[in-house]
Structures are given as C-alpha cells and as structure tokens.
Amino acid sequence: MSYTITTILCQSFLCECIGCDIVSGRIVPPGGMIAESEHFILHQDPEVPIRAFFIVASKAHIQSMDQMSVAEARECFDLVYQARKLQSRLGDISEVLVIQEERSEHFHLWLLPRYAWMDELFANSLTTVREMLKYAREHRCNEDDIKEILETVKRSRELWRLA
C-alpha cells in the first residue's frame, strides 16, 4: 500500500516503502547519506526536523533484526555504535534515546538526541516521544532550523571520514 511522505525540505513523495526508496536513491535523505556499510545505511531522519536525529536502516527490506545473520547484526550494531559516538563528537548532545520498532516493514533504528529545548517542554520519557516529534514538525521547521540540520549532516560526514 502506498503512502505519501513529506520531508523536512518540504518535498512530497509517494512511497511503497520509504526505506527501500532511500536505499535505491529515489529519495535522498536531508543533506545526503552520512555513511554506509555493506548492509546498512546511516542518515538524518527525513521527516522530523531535529538536528542529528540519526537513522540506521538495513539495505534489505527486512522487518526485524531477527532476520539478520549474526554477522549482519554485528555489522548493524557497529554502525549504531559509531553513529552514537558521532553524536557525542558533534558537541551539544548529552543523551540519546535509541528506539527500534518492528511495526515498520523496513528495519530502521532511531538515535534520537536530547536537547535543552526538549527539557523545557517534554518529560524525558518514552511516552512523550511522539508528541515531541510532532512538536518539532510543527514548530521547529523554519529556514534556520533546516540550515542547521543540513550543516550538521555535512559536519557528520566529515567527522565520519576522520574517525
């Protein structure tokens, strides 16, 4: 079943699977890919304007880590580990929430950073995550926010190369 997504750059796409569309290059994540390994990719979340909100996704259309080989699972976690280290190197991220939901048909894992603006508005809890993402879409998607996100993606790619 197809659905429409709107990216933080205000582009709309009709997708069968956004994960597969990003892997194939039909949809370019904001600022482009940050890193990739043989079976996984790392990029900024395309739909939520939160700086350094990273996604690690499988290249294959699988739903669960249960469908990975041991080697693939290790490769995946290695990328998650490096992505988390990268968030620390970006400077102002003190804490990251790691989420992997199997409701999605295409395996992806969220590395959601915590910022001061969130502390003022939302309890630091899993239960506020959806509300917080909605708030970001509605109130933190202006030109400066997007510019900062794109600069962070660029900086992330540079730091990745240096690591």
SS (H, E, C) 137-153: HHHCCCHHHHHHHHHHH
CB of 43 to Zn ion, least distance (A): 14
Q: C-alpha angle with apex 116: 163 to 140, nearest 5 degrees?
A: 90
Each as own residue / partner, the long-range contacts of residues 129-133 (CB below 8 Å, 24 or more positions apart, any chain) are: 129/97, 129/99, 133/48, 133/50
Q: Which of 136, 98, 131, 99 is nearest to 117 (CA)?
A: 136
Nearest distance in Å: CB 26, Zn ion: 11
Report in angstroms how near the CB of residue 63 gets to Zn ion at its nearest.
9
- CB of 92: closest distance to Zn ion in angstroms? 33
The binding site for Zn ion (CB under 5 A) comprises: 17, 19-20, 61, 106
Q: Which residue type sits at 117? A: W
The CB-of-12 to Zn ion minimum distance in angstroms stands at 19
By beta-carbon proximity to Zn ion, the closer residue of 67 and 88 is 67
When the beta carbons of 2 and 125 are compared against Zn ion, the nearer one is 2
Within the chain, strands assigned E span 3-6, 12-15, 35-36, 40-44, 54-58, 96-99, 108-113
HSE-up (13 A, CA, CB side) for residue 140: 16
Residue number, 42 or 149, with CB nearest to Zn ion = 42
Nearer to Zn ion, 22 or 146 (CB): 22
CB nearer Zn ion, residue 61 or residue 84: 61
